[in-house]
Amino acid sequence: MKESIEAKLLALTKKAKENGANLKGSGAIRNGSSLHKIIKTKEQAATFMKLLQSL
């Protein structure tokens, strides 16, 4: 690795350790759209398709 890049990485780590900002995370784990969280199995997909066709 280039020395300059290594130095930058070390500097960033040092900045975090010495002046680590009190930054808040959302806590949310992002896994794509909300639909993908619902449909994970073939059975769920079939149910969803029936629902679409009934509209």
Partner 1 sequence: MAISVKIDFENLYEIEHISEDLRISTFKTELEDGTYLPLKVEISNECHTLLPNVYNLAFGPLDKKGEINDKAQLSHKDYSRVFSTILFDGLNFLNNNKGHYLGIDGSDNARAYMYYMFLQRNYDYLSKYFNIYGLKYYVRITRFGKNQYDNPFDFTDIQPVPDRILKGSRLPPPVMYNYFIFNSKIAE
CB of 47 to partner 1, least distance (A): 11
CB of 43 to partner 1, least distance (A): 11
Contacts 24+ apart (CB under 8 A), 5-12: none
CB of 34 to partner 1, least distance (A): 11
Spatial distance between the Cα atoms of 51 and 44, rounded to a whole number of angstroms: 11
Q: By CB under 8 A, name the binding residues for partner 1.
A: 1-2, 4-5, 8-9, 12-13, 15-17, 20-33, 35-36, 39-40, 42, 45-46, 49, 52-53
Which amino acid would we find at residue 24? K
